[in-house]
Amino acid sequence: MPAPGITATAGPSPHFVLICKALLNLGLFALLLGCSGCVRASDESTLEKILRTGVARVGYANEAPYAYMDSDQRRLTGEAPEIARIILKRMGVQRVEGVLLTEFGTLIPGLKARRFDLIAAGMYITPPRARQVAFSNPTYAIGEALIVARDNPLQLHSYTDVVENPEARLGVAAGAIQRRYAKELGVPDSRLVVFPDAPSALAGVGAGRVDAYAATSLTAGDLLRRTSSVAVELAEPFENPVINGKPAVGYGAFAFHKDDHDLVATFNHHLAEFIGTPEHLELIESFGFSEATLPGDVTAAELSREVSP
Amino acid sequence: MSLAEFMGPLLTGALITIQLTVMAALFGGILAILAGVAKMYGNAAVRAFASVYVEVFRGTSALVQLFWFFFALPLIGIQLTAMAAGVVVLALNLGAYGAEVVRGAVKAVPKGQWEACLALNMTRVQALRHVVLPQALVAMLPPASNLVIELLKNTALVSLITIPEITFQAQTLRAATLQTTAIFSLVLLIYFLIAMVLVYGFRRLEANLSQGLHLGRAH
């Protein structure tokens, strides 16, 4: 074996050589990642960008019938993406690209980090959310429902029934509005179970992990239509909850980055010309929406206003 | 949808899972050796830097790190793609845990080896590179295979940042078909098969690298 050094400590300190090599390697590594992974932010507004490229990226959380990948995994569909396609086309954007987030709760952080240009997930307009993002005007209005085990063993027909029965455990999906309803109506935390998504919550009722799963009437109806399980059913009749003196009707809309005023304004302009037309009703019919779920003339601004408790 | 129809998306996802595992294992392995060696032989500043890296990444949740790299970094102007963010976080974690494995393995090489190198007039860098690390590498393999299998399963975390790996595909299929039991059973099986291949690979590597080594070791 060659022994080039005169003594073991001659020349530049071996520590020094080692450190230099390590730093060099780290630097190369960082550079490599930097080049492959970085996308520079520019001064161009989102509206200008999607008009120039002809592509808009929409974030969704795979929840039928609002926004989901159809069962052959070919096409993003649902109430929100289909409406977005039409409105964006009228604005001059030809293509809609879906960005799928497996958790509903990560949609708003994703939008703020500009991982996509808008949220098309039928997201309800609420004051806390409106502090984070800018909403379009609503495209639908719907009420609530409970999914329970077959024959509804605990006879749960409202949130109040859940509150009053000390045995009843209520499931909700993470990030969904029902968690807030449950809290405001007095369901204690110890009896509230948060599932990562709607299918898990449904499976939770089937497996007896919770006694009821609270969802919008559309989500509930859709899940029950598609499941093969006979262990679960819709709680009927169901008394829609009243929050702060107002019936808990959810208004679903598109959400945009707070800085994209021009995009929201243009989108709203085209939306107003489309909502309620026969073309709109025909489009949303297959997703279980109808004339009864039209939002009326409620605006995003009204729904975003904070209500004093 | 039947079991056979689930396989297409799940195998596409499995490919991405394997890709993530291999890339993170490569980068993470390099980081582990760098950080482990730096912790032992660096000067005070390098040692401190390596220690901070190891403790920060071992001491915080990988899931939260992932969210932070994906959702928070863009707010300060650094936009890593989902795949880059996933590989970086997984590799940094593996490197942090691996650094201690490297340190332990190098420490376990008998002191006589160092003394013999000194007697041969080798510099410390030469001794480390030609004599100590090759022996330590063999001792690292069993714990390293543990870490890499854990890495394989940790890749499931990146399903939360839009990377369509196998868990992500499973969640998508589940949302579409609601057949939770069938889909998750298949996913478990696929993870298990990939892990078995990894175990086999590490065994072979260990057998190859340790050939002839016992002859020269002082007992």
Q: Considering only CB atoms, which chain A residues are within 8 Å of B88? A: 33, 37
ipTM of the assembly? 0.70
- B167: nearest CA partner in chain A: A102
Structural domain count of chain B: 1
| pLDDT for A29 beyond 70 | no
Distance CA A36, CA A24 (A): 18
pLDDT computed for residue A22 by the predictor = 55
Q: For tokens 């206003």, what's the residue?
A: A305
Whether chain A has a CB inside 8 Å of the CB on B29: the answer is no
The identity of residue B63, as a single letter, is L
Other C-beta atoms lying within 10 Å of the C-beta of residue A31:
10
The DSSP H or E segment spanning B185 is: helix B180-209
d(Cα A135, Cα A253) in Å, to the nearest integer? 6
Quick check: A19 and B42 CB within 8 A? yes
Question: Which DSSP helix (H) or strand (E) runs through A216?
Answer: strand A212-216
- In order along its 219 residues, chain B shows pLDDT tens digits of 677 889 999 999 999 999 999 999 999 999 999 999 999 999 999 999 999 999 999 999 999 999 999 998 988 888 899 999 999 999 999 999 999 999 999 999 999 999 999 999 999 889 999 999 999 999 999 999 999 999 999 999 999 898 999 999 998 888 888 888 899 999 999 999 999 999 999 999 999 988 877 655 554
A22·B118 Cβ contact <8 A: no
Radius of gyration of chain A (CA): 25
Q: Do residues B164 and B20 make contact, with C-beta atoms less than 8 angstroms apart?
A: no
Q: What is the pTM of this model?
A: 0.76
CATH of residue B107's domain is 1.10.3720.10
What domain range includes position B203?
3-218
Q: Which two tokens stand for residue A183?
A: 């809290």
Q: How far apart are CA A34 and CA A36, in angstroms?
A: 6
B chain contacts of residue A2, beta-carbon cutoff 8 Å: none
Find all residues with CB under 8 Å of A259, minimum gap 6, and list them: A45, A46
Strands (DSSP E) found in A61-189: 68-69, 76-77, 95-100, 118-124, 134-135, 140-142, 144-149, 170-173
Measured in degrees and rounded to the nearest 5, phi and psi for residue A252 equal -95, 145
Chain centre to alpha carbon of residue A282: 24
For residues B107 and A298, give the distance between their C-alpha atoms in angstroms, rounded to a whole number: 70
Cis geometry, peptide bond prior to residue A65 (ω within 30 degrees of 0): yes
